[in-house]
Structure 1
Amino acid sequence: MKIDILTLFPEMFDGVLSSSILKKAAEKQIVTYHVVNFREFSNDKHQSVDDYPYGGGAGMVLKPQPIFDAVAHLKQKSENTQPRVILMCPQGERYTQKKAEELAEEDHLILICGHYEGYDERIRTIVTDEISIGDFVLTGGEIGALAVVDSVVRLLPGVLGNENSPIMDSFSSGLLEHPHYTRPADFRGLKVPDVLLSGNHRLIEQWRMKESLRRTWERRPDLLENYPLTPEQKEWLQEWEKGNYSSSDS
């Protein structure tokens, strides 16, 4: 996969892209990163990228010309003539794991990081997606773009050591992930559930599914609104709603 990032602050990406999983993915040549300062594409002598909004108002607005030309340049260099062009924007669709999985199927992503008061509306005509990482406003799109890059790259085949890791992540199945434990089995009186020490893989998987469902019910019940519950899962929810928890639940 090729990931191009258009930003006015390329230095913000140096540390993250050269660390941890993102660095290893690049070293394995699974992904290449290209961070571009779109100020370099400005066609005026001052290399300005913003201007006052028509009609007045607070703040400055990003001009279309530098971004249009930067995107066109990146498309010309791409083997994929139809890359996904993503505008990081608080007005965009709310980012989800499902969206990350969708983007991970692409060969080429171009992410545009905004700044100042906003974008000239005409910039939206050259993008394929508008993404928001949450219902809040940041000073620019860089942090959001990094979140998108991280969430997508870790899904690419060969990036993680265990290919099943992304499958078990929170949100990948539609539910939050179950609790995890490691050694020691008893830490300051806090014990690992007996079922995880039993060696019975069928019971362990059942426990994990049950805990995944319960954690979602307790913390993110909205995720269950469209989740296809099995008859057994429906029974669990009915018991929990009554306040009934068996000893095997803990």
Structure 2
Amino acid sequence: MRYIKLSFKYLIKNILYLFLMSLIPAVLFGGLLSPFKFIEFINNYTSLTIVSFSNMFHALIDVSWLKVLFYVICLGVLGLVVSIIIGAIENHFRSGKKNYLKIKNYINNNLLVVLLNIILIFVINFIVSFLCATLIYLFHIMFAGLNSSANVGCVIVAIIVFALYFCVMAIVSMTLLLNIPNMLINGYNFKQSISNTINVIGKNFINLLLAYILPYAVIIPLISIFSFSSVAIHIVSGVCMVISIMYYSSFVMTAYFDLNNIMRYDNRKYYNI
């Protein structure tokens, strides 16, 4: 609960700034892509007719040549925004004062590290999603055959695979997100930093993981409720991206400073914040 409390405490105090900064990448992701494709798939699986692996692949993975371009745009904008947010939060933690105007400095200092870790998350997500699509497809052939919709056995397998996917991606994403401030603050290269990040997580793994997956208690029901409508799902996906960017920006920085016992000056009453 500690990291949940830390994340929400900072988020609530700075909600307007985090909300405004999150809007542009959230609108882009929600409007151009399907960032929560696996959740949509679980809800729509029984209505799909699987004729070939291509049907399963595109049902689980939001990709085409045009989508690749959209991913480049969205990841670029997300990288810029997250670089600014993290820079502003670190400055706030270290000085006790909010300074949102050093945008150029924040981007110059943080962008490459942020992009490296975010792109790795998306690449790993693609690989894991592909493996999951293959696994679900093979069981679909076994239980229902081709040119058919999913039966109960197929749905049960899909839910189990989704649970595994969710666990793997939660661990990977949490580690790589915490790796961002570790690289920035300590100046490590990626190999040194990821090793150190894993060590820092250590015995706090469960508490951190629970804090990381908390937003999905809202995201999964929202996506599930509105997955029936192609228009509504894009709007709701945008809302969920706003929630994600706001929460994880706060989570990563508050958790990292706490894990490493780094003094924070933003919550001291005698500082002008």
Confirm or deny a common fold (TM above 0.5): no
Quick check: which one's helix share is greater?
Answer: 2
Which one has the largest radius of gyration?
A: 1
TM-score, normalised to structure 1, is: 0.29
Q: Which has the higher relative contact order, 1 or 2, with Cα contacts under 8 A spaced 6 or more apart?
A: 2
Quick check: which one's strand share is greater?
Answer: 1
